[in-house]
Amino acid sequence: GAVVSQHPSWVICKSGTSVKIECRSLDFQATTMFWYRQFPKQSLMLMATSNEGSKATYEQGVEKDKFLINHASLTLSTLTVTSAHPEDSSFYICSVISGTGYGYTFGSGTRLTVV
């Protein structure tokens, strides 16, 4: 299966600042990547679908202007949390579809803490 690298694994930022999270597909050209958010004891919630070379598709209730997604190449998608607030503190995870489209590989996740 695909190998997905997510960076950073954890980050602490001040309220009002922006944070960028990177998701790289190391051995597979990923035309589609997914960004999830997971709160403690909750399931993974899909935030957006990132398509290479086009605008991301956001799920209902996810602010496009707050969570900026850029998928500029087949191996890299970035999620930028703009003007972060404490309520944005969460575990963010990216995923790629590998192979036939039925396999999904996840990154190791990024723990964001906004203080």
For another protein, the binding residues (CB under 8 A) are: 1, 4, 6, 9, 32, 34, 41-46, 49, 91, 93, 95, 97, 101-109, 111
Specify whether the CB–CB gap between 94 and 23 falls below 8 A: yes
Nearer to another protein, 75 or 95 (CB): 95
Cβ closest to another protein, residue 5 vs residue 80: 5
Q: For residues 64 and 48, what is the distance between their CA atoms, to the nearest angstrom?
A: 9
Residue 5 or residue 82: which is nearer to another protein going by CB?
Answer: 5
